[in-house]
Amino acid sequence: MGKLSKQALSLWAKKENREGQELWLPLVAHLVDTKNVISWLYSHWLNDSQRQLLQQDLTASEIEQLVKFVGYFHDIGKATPAFQTKPSYNRDYALDDELTEKLLQSGFEKLAEYNPSSRSKSPHALAGETILENAGLNTFVGAIIGAHHGKTVGEFFDSQRQFNTYTSNYLLSDGNENLQAEWQKTQQELIDYGLSVTGFTSLEEVPQITQPQAVLLTGLLIMADWIASSEFLGTDQSQPMFPLISLDQGFTDLDMEQRFEQAITTWDISGHWTPQIISNVDQQYDKRWHFNPRPVQHLMSEVIGQIADPGIIIVEAPMGIGKTEIALTAAEQLAFMTGASGLFMGLPTQATSNAMFSRVDKWVDKLAKEENVSLPIRLMHGKAQFNREMKSLPNAQNIDSPNSVVVNSWFSGKKSMLADFSIGTIDHLLLMSLKQKHLFLRHLGLSGKIVIIDEIHAYDTYMSSYLKRALQWLGTYHIPVIALSATLPKEKRTELVKAYYRGKYGHQLEQTDNAWRDSQAYPLLTYLDGTEVKQYNQFPKPTKSQEVKVVRLDCDDQQLVAKVADSIKNGGIAGVIVNTVKRAQELSRLLPKGLPQIVLHSAFLAPDRTRLEERLQAAIGKGAERPEKLVVIGTQVLEQSLDIDFDVLFTDIAPVDLILQRMGRLHRHDIHRPTGLATPTTYVLGINAFGDYGDANEAIYEKYWLMKTDHFLPETVKLPADISPLVQAVYDPVTDKEVSEIEEASAQTEQAEKIAKRKARVYQIAVPKEHENLYGWLDRDQQGIANDDAAAEAAVRDIKETLEVVMIKHTPVGDFLVDGRNLTDVDESEIAQQVIRLPNRITPDIAKAINELEKRTDKHYHNWQDSRWLKGMLALPLDERLSAELLGWRLSYSPQLGLQYEKDEENE
């Protein structure tokens, strides 16, 4: 390895004036730092399955060389006059002049008067790709260099054209060969040095790789660059990693090996999961959950443990059977088989994510204690920072001994998916398909995990389009996926398997035996073993089954509440699940005074909703001491996640799978029932006549699905035996001919689904293409989502973006939380929890609403801008009666009923 010239050593990668101290980092030092980090990450942080993905058709030494290559060469584009004359971020001209002087003294000329007009046309990532591709590097690897700041070059990028158009950005002058020669010589010197430290003899020798390999390698490079760019671990300057050095020091003053070892020792503060073989399923359940598995759990776990080449696994089984334990056991089995070392679990809502986080946290804690390591976990949704269990976990930096679940603060923000164990809303999996800056990190994080998707039936056509694209990429990465559902249409089952298969094998599934597609067996295990789809359905008949009486109830709201009250006149718990928040609030107000009630829906402040969920669980959860009487009124949030038990159920008409989910909360536990409620009964509301379900219900659910549900829903439902036949009858288009006057509704739904699919594809990444490079991979991304998680999640759910506000009671005597506590007496983090999402109906003009709320926030809470928790948040000050006017709407809040709104009469 030859010595570098004075010119090469004078180039800078980073510079900063910190509290009067002028600091810099030589470019070659950052290149070597990043090369060392990425090499370590490949060997020690990635797991076996990820290394196999990256190696694919290369030898072990070839992939190790390639990993080092992209690490070293990622910032070669900084060896250009366009970059070297860039002003520092804080416009510290004295520091800029010092570094320019250093360059001049080393032999570079004319830099003081150099001021390119098109500097921004050659950012250093693109410049690096240009230099290397023009010097002979293939575009498959060249595109990784260009994408290391999170965005790929365009589909029609031409490195020669970029160089010819902006030559002075690269060589100081468009035509002066003497000036150009110095830069050409230095760039070639750094290339030669890089080839020598990475083991290649020429750029042409660097191997080509596939597009999926390039995606993962780019993710690993971004991660390595971020680590190598960290001077300290977090904000703690007592934990140095890759610090800058003073201007009087240079590359030769650095001990690069010692610098790297110290940094990695500082950064690598949490351990890794090493999955163990499960030889006895029954003992495993006892060890993890202290019970013997039910027959369905035992048999499914036995079958999953025998899969030779696992792909997608679909578990269809009744509510309450213990699918979570099946999935977590499968995660351990599949991780041992494949070399994976982490888990991502995706759920439909924040509430279901919170409930599942608690369960997975306990499971990971057992893994950590068994292996005597600290395992990092993340809860991933918009309110994760307020989750009490997450907040109570120790920080990995602060623990003295291993064997616990920890939060490693480095794995936050865009890096959250890199934590070994991630539980969150399904959005974080769907976002794998959305064109978005730094998407590579999400792919890298998921590529090392077992993926579990709960409530797989719960996603509409638009979201399913993103889900299928995500499954294709997961299949490409050979990541085992476990999908769980109690109510899965067979068409969706087929779509999931076909999407995964196409990703894994690069072509459509062509299997002669297609019986698996039409099976109505229940419970049912469907799985891909190699290229073959297999099923297992030899389960014993359930020991517990029940017949639910179904009564269609056509009445107005006054009659309904009278019926609800009458149904529990001798005691009992009545559940009323309706389709809109407004309807839940109206029914609550109509209930007779003195009849105990709990209202639960999505329009509550976060602390109030948590309090209500806990109160509900304590009143009618498993083993609870149940009140004599209680009416629970809620929306769809009651059909998911909560293990609660009603004596009688009233539900608005909805698609059959949702009605069955709601029935799963009826007589759920084995307890004595009050007089008159021994027979589980579900009253179905909102059917005015066949095909007429009212505007509100038809605005939420397609009329087509309501008509088919209405037609096929019998007067008695046998659970669990009728679950699959009912779901298949409603969702199979073949049965349309049995439903009268369905044609118009069917055509409307078909058209709506076509539009949804077309709309979803606009911002989706393409299917994996093995023989293409990364050019254009993220072209035409959706604007405004790069650093806005809420906007990105709205994009994959096809919902209008809405505003979140902090509700504060603002009075002449002071400011208070809604619960009455003075703002001066509570922590800022608690104030930040007082958030609620405004219905988009009242903020159709988002910009106008933001402008108005910013004025109010600035007027009353200007100091929020200095707060870590409250900076950027919008306040909605409420008066003494907890109400406010906003853009012609009158809003009011009640801890019992949540947010209510109506058009302000003066603005009618």
How does DSSP assign 215-260, residue by residue? HHHHHHHHHHHHHHT-SBSTT-TTSBSS--EETT--GGG--HHHHH
Query: Mean pLDDT over residues 581-594, rounded?
Result: 95
Query: Residue 283 pLDDT more than 50?
Result: yes
119 within 8 A of 159, measured Cβ to Cβ:
no
Q: What is the mean pLDDT of residues 199-223?
A: 97
Which residue did the predictor score with more confidence, 413 or 438? 438
**pLDDT of 908 higher than 50:** no
Compute CA distances 280 → 245, 290, 332, 630, whole Å: 57, 14, 13, 44
Domain 31-84+117-267 grouped into CATH 1.10.3210.30? yes
CA terminus-to-terminus distance, the chain: 80
The fold of 546-719 is Rossmann fold (3.40.50)
CA distance 171 to 169: 6
Q: What is the pLDDT of residues 293-324, one digit of tens each?
A: 999 999 999 999 999 999 999 999 998 899 99
Q: What is the pLDDT of residues 96-152, one digit of tens each?
A: 999 999 999 999 999 988 988 899 999 999 999 999 999 999 999 999 999 999 999
* pLDDT of residue 798 exceeding 70: no
> In residues, how long is the chain?
908
* pLDDT confidence of residue 1: 47
Counting residues of the chain whose pLDDT is more than 90, the rounded percentage is 73
Domains of the chain: which residue ranges?
31-84+117-267, 309-348+426-539+745-768, 359-420, 546-719, 800-907
The model's pLDDT over 403-420, given as tens digits with 9 standing for 90+, comes to: 677 778 888 888 888 889
pLDDT at 33 over 80: yes
Whether residue 641 is predicted with pLDDT greater than 70 in this model: the reply is no
Q: What pTM does this model have?
A: 0.92
| 633: phi then psi, degrees, rounded to nearest 5 | -110, 130
Average pLDDT, rounded, for the chain: 91
Choose among 650, 636, 639, 659: nearest CA to 727: 659
Convert the pLDDT of each residue in 531-584 to its tens digit.
999 999 999 988 778 999 999 999 999 999 999 999 999 999 999 999 999 999
Report whether 497 contacts 528 (CB < 8 A). yes
Judge contact between 75 and 128, C-beta under 8 A.
yes
Q: Closest by alpha carbon to 475, among 301, 602, 622, 313?
A: 313
Answer yes or no: same fold for 309-348+426-539+745-768 and 546-719: yes
**CATH number of the domain at 309-348+426-539+745-768, out of 3.30.70, 3.40.462, 1.10.238, 3.40.50?**
3.40.50
The answer on pLDDT for 382 being more than 80 is no
What's the average model confidence in pLDDT over 372-401?
Answer: 74
Answer whether residue 402 shows pLDDT above 70. no
Closest CA to 864 of 886, 816, 832: 832
Indicate the pLDDT class of residue 442, thresholds 50, 70 and 90.
Answer: very high
pLDDT tens, residue by residue, 608-621: 988 898 899 899 98
Task: Place 788 in a pLDDT band, splitting at 50, 70 and 90.
Answer: low
CA distances from 454 to 430, 471, 728 (A): 13, 14, 20
Could you check whether the bond before residue 877 is cis, i.e. omega within 30 degrees of 0? Answer: no
pLDDT level of residue 905 (50, 70, 90 thresholds): low
- Residue 892 makes CB contacts below 8 A (sequence gap 6+) with 878, 881, 882, 883, 884, 899, 900, 901
